[in-house]
Structure 1
């Protein structure tokens, strides 16, 4: 039976009034939804270098296992199965936690993937399969502050062998003085070193930047090291191998593996560079309070009690804490009576 022309005209007029067309009533999406493999390059292109480094292998696992599926066809069960595979196949490291970190990182990577898909309009937030899979519960952190004797033994072991004692000693000293992360140290350039004011500019995760005090002695050693190994232009890497190439993350793995062979307790506890950050920040917090420790660490997040908004410390306060920690004067340090003595 043919439709009544008058009713059709009335319906079309009503749709026009509502800003709709007959095609809108079918629910068809004018854009085809891509497959996981097709969409992944868009996700990678929009991610920061740090995000690509952290999540890249997990995104590739998604593409290998679910690449032919449309983004909106993947189920939570599919992602949970891949998470279990990531956990079971995690590489055994000195500080491994039975694959928990691999499982946690896989779900975080999947959520980052689907956050982008949601932002691009391929599915609604409530339809994201990644957000319906629970992350593995994070176990309590086993890191702690090293004792003065432990720190001495680690530095002594680093200076007792290896193919580049000067570089290894500089790395340990840099992380002990600044409590910086590995990424911050590796990102240092010649232009980031201010020898007159004994400062380095740290560029760390989240795109944060800050000037961090270092002792004048370390500043002098760093500039000597960089220039002797070929750093010339302002953007040249500060930390370099003897052949002039910039230092990579691999150097830290080699360093701690060597120290672990000399000091079995280092290998047994999975001690790494981040333990130096814990050590320094614990000492600063105990002697100078939370505000100075927060500034020393470069923390800028607003989580926690509202009073953290007002608990701030300036560069001079951080320099004062550094001077007390190292026993070396700093040009920006505030003269104070009764400063705590540095650790032996």
Structure 2
């Protein structure tokens, strides 16, 4: 009969619907009413209000770029090629710094910001997975870091410059010792509060990126410096920021910028190579790994690798292990370190 379908054609149609995840009965159901797709100007504030402070700070400039270019467009209108074009534009317009990589980080962060925005749109049901253009835009491959561990002589030069120059050498040397002992990130230091100091067990409570928190051992000497700093500079409220200028105002990340700029003027290789606080983290963790192994260095850094959870379960290091490594690094006994001396272990 003309217009009739063969069994093979019907089987092919059923197979196609199955691959598309569609039940044939759905073809006869009433159409699903989907919410209207919002514009970038409408949806970006929604996502910005839903993410963490750190995510918002990292992506806000890229979301602003999307809003400036496509504020009145719906999320489902731009193509992957258009997103790639904006990523290349972000790369070309990136600020040129001493440690710049040709704008690769700007392009990578733009793609990450777009993916974050569209991932929320998927979760909210305003676009489908197949209608997400950010899924089809690859991030630029990240180049190996130029950061490295600083040798002992170089570290001594850095500390000497901090201690003998500037308007507040007490603060600057405290910052350097804090980062050298704990290998904490800059955010961990800026987030310290007076209530985060456990003077009995010589521990500080670090809050770092992505909401990661941990207790980190410090030497008795550093703990004494931190307590004295809090008392002398008016950091008396338990919830107030610990690290402060002489006049009592909390420091910001700009203190770090000024510190390394000044050190670079007195130690030329620091300026030439773009040394920053993160190099101190590399220095300490490299030393810990070489002398105490990967597991303890991993814990010392505050890393928690979900993708490596099975292996981490068997090589997980605890506070006693970190404290023992710290005691060897500083040459000071720590109340949580185990009783085996470092010399006996090596």
Name the TM-score, length of structure 1 as normaliser. Answer: 0.89
- Per-residue Cα deviation, 1:119-169 (whole angstroms, up to 9, x for no partner): 001111222111211111111111111101111111111112112111111
Runs of 4+ aligned structure 1 residues displaced above 3 Å come to 18-22
How many angstroms does 1:21 deviate by?
9.2
Counterparts of 1:265-304 in structure 2, within 5 Å, are 265-304=269-308
Question: 1:263 maps to which residue?
Answer: 267
Secondary structure at 2:95's aligned position in 1? Answer: coil
For residues 73 and 218 of structure 1, do their structure 2 counterparts lie closer, same or farther at Cα, with a shift above 3 Å needed?
same
Q: Is the 8 Å Cα contact of residues 186 and 248 (structure 1) preserved in structure 2? A: yes
* Aligned pairs for 1:208-247 within 5 A: 208-247=212-251
Alignment counterpart, residue 189 of structure 1, candidates 184, 190, 193: 193
1:338, CA displacement in angstroms?
4.6
1:1-344 correspondence runs (5 A) = 24-25=30-31, 28-29=33-34, 31-304=35-308, 306-339=310-343
Relative distance call for 1:100 and 1:56 in structure 2 (3 A) is: same
Q: Give the alignment's TM-score, normalised by structure 2.
A: 0.89
Deviation at 1:276, TM superposition (A): 0.5
Residue 233 of structure 1, CA deviation: 1.5
Distance 2:314 2:93 in 1: 45
Tell me how many residue pairs correspond in the alignment. 322
The answer for unaligned runs of 5 or more in structure 2 is 1-24
Q: CA deviation at 1:53?
A: 0.9
| CA-based RMSD | 2.0
The alpha carbon displacement at 1:19 in A equals: 8.9
User: 2:328, 2:342 within 8 Å by CA — same for their partners in 1?
Assistant: no
Compute the displacement of 1:309 (Å): 2.4
SS at 1:159 equivalent = helix
Q: Distance in 1 between matches of 2:340 and 2:190?
A: 34
Give me the whole-angstrom Cα distance separating, in 2, the residues matched to 1:253 and 1:340: 41
Task: Indicate if the aligned counterparts of 1:287 and 1:340 stay in contact, CA closer than 8 A.
Answer: no
C-alpha separation in 1, matches of 2:51 and 2:151:
39
Contact 2:91 2:103 in 1 (8 A): yes
Partner SS, residue 246 of structure 2 = coil
Tell me if structure 2 keeps the 8 A contact 1:302–1:309.
no
Matches of 1:228 and 1:94, distance apart in 2: 37
The alpha-carbon distance between structure 1 residues 117 and 305, as it changes in their structure 2 partners (threshold 3 A), is: closer
Shift of 1:255: 0.8
- The 3-state SS of whatever aligns with 1:303 is helix
Relative to structure 1, is the Cα distance of residues 261 and 88 closer, same or farther in structure 2, using a 3 angstrom cutoff? same
Aligned partners of 1:206, 1:338: CA distance in 2, in Å?
33
Q: Deviations over 1:199-239 (max 9, x none)?
A: 10011122121110001111111111112111111101111
Retained in 2: the 8 A contact 1:184–1:202?
yes
Change (3 A) 1:338 1:280: closer
